[in-house]
Amino acid sequence: MISVGEGRGDTSPVWRKSSYSHERGECVEVARVGPGRAFRDSRDPGGPALPCTADEWRTLLRRLTG
């Protein structure tokens, strides 16, 4: 499980929400976790986070911007 803190000077990830997110909070947030990234549901910040490696992150970005 990934720590879901808010980056208060410790090693907790700093979560970022897309500028395209809706006012209702329907968005996925992403944070840098070591060399990789993690995703979480912005409506459930205390819930689980899905980690990915740096290679998986690059592949995702390539496919989205393709």
Beta bridge mates, 30: 16, 39
Q: Which residue has the tokens 């459930």?
A: 44
Answer yes or no: is 10 within a domain: no
Structure confidence by residue, pLDDT tens digits, 38-52: 999 888 889 999 999
Answer yes or no: is 31 within a domain: yes
Tell me: pLDDT of 10 over 90.
no
How confident is the model at residue 3, as a pLDDT? Answer: 46
* Cβ(8)–Cβ(55) below 8 Å: no
Q: Can you give the residue range of the structural domain that contains 57? A: 26-65
Answer yes or no: is 39 within a domain: yes
Answer yes or no: is 6 within a domain: no
User: Which pair of tokens denotes residue 38?
Assistant: 């993690």
Answer yes or no: is 19 within a domain: no
Over range 13-25, report the average pLDDT: 78
Res. 28 pLDDT band, cuts 50 70 90? confident
User: pTM of the full predicted structure?
Assistant: 0.70
What spatial distance separates the first Cα and last Cα of the chain, rounded to whole Å? 31
Answer yes or no: is 11 within a domain: no
Domain count for the chain, please give it.
Answer: 1
Answer yes or no: is 7 within a domain: no
Question: In this structure, which amino acid lies at residue 61?
Answer: L
